[in-house]
Amino acid sequence: MTLTMTTIVDSPIGKLRLAAEDGVLTGLYMDGARHGPIGEEAWIEDDSPFEEVAAQLEAYFAGERTTFDIPLRSSGTKFQQQVWAGLLEIPYAETWSYGQLANRVGNPKASRAVGLANGRNPISIIVPCHRVIGANGSLTGYGGGLDRKAWLLQHEQRHAANHRGG
C-alpha cells in the first residue's frame, strides 16, 4: 500500500493542502474547496516531500515564477487525464474557454464534460484549471471559489509583463 504524505502551506488565497505519494505530488487542495481530497484521514503529516513544491508555490505567489517543474501524478479517467494535460498547455496569464479546451483535447462537442473534468482537477494552481473561463469571457465555476479564481487570474495578469520576452 502506498502511503500518502501531506502538509499544509500558507498562501495569499488561504491554506493549501499538499499530498504526495512516493515523493510525487498527487494533490493540491484549497481550504474549503468543493472537491476535497478523498481518504485524507489515512494520510501522514510530513512536510519533508514538499520543500521544492512549497518553494515553487512561494515564487509563483511572489510573481517570480510562471511555470512549475514538479513531478505530478493524478488519478482519474482517461478523459480527465486528457483534460488535465490540456490545462498544462494554457500559457501563464492567458485564458481559454471550455470549448477551446475541448477542441485542444480533440473532443470539440464535449465542453460540458471538459468543465466537469476541469472541476475535478486534483492539483489546482500547478495544473491551472483557473485559466478556463466561459465562452463569453465570464468567470464560471471554480472548485476553490470564484473569488480565488479571480485573484489567481488578476495575479498572473499583474506579473505577466515581468516575464514577457525573457
Provide φ and ψ at 46, rounded to 5°.
-165, 115
- What distance in Å separates the CA atoms of residue 97 and residue 133, rounded to the nearest whole number? 5
Exactly one of 28, 30, 72, 129 is catalytic; which is it? 129
- What distance in Å separates the CA atoms of residue 125 and residue 131, rounded to the nearest whole number? 9
Indicate the SS3 state at residue 5. strand
Question: CA angle, corner 81, sides to 69 and 96, nearest 5?
Answer: 75
Examine the residue annotation and report whether 129 is marked as an active-site residue of this protein. Answer: yes
Catalytic residue numbers?
A: 129
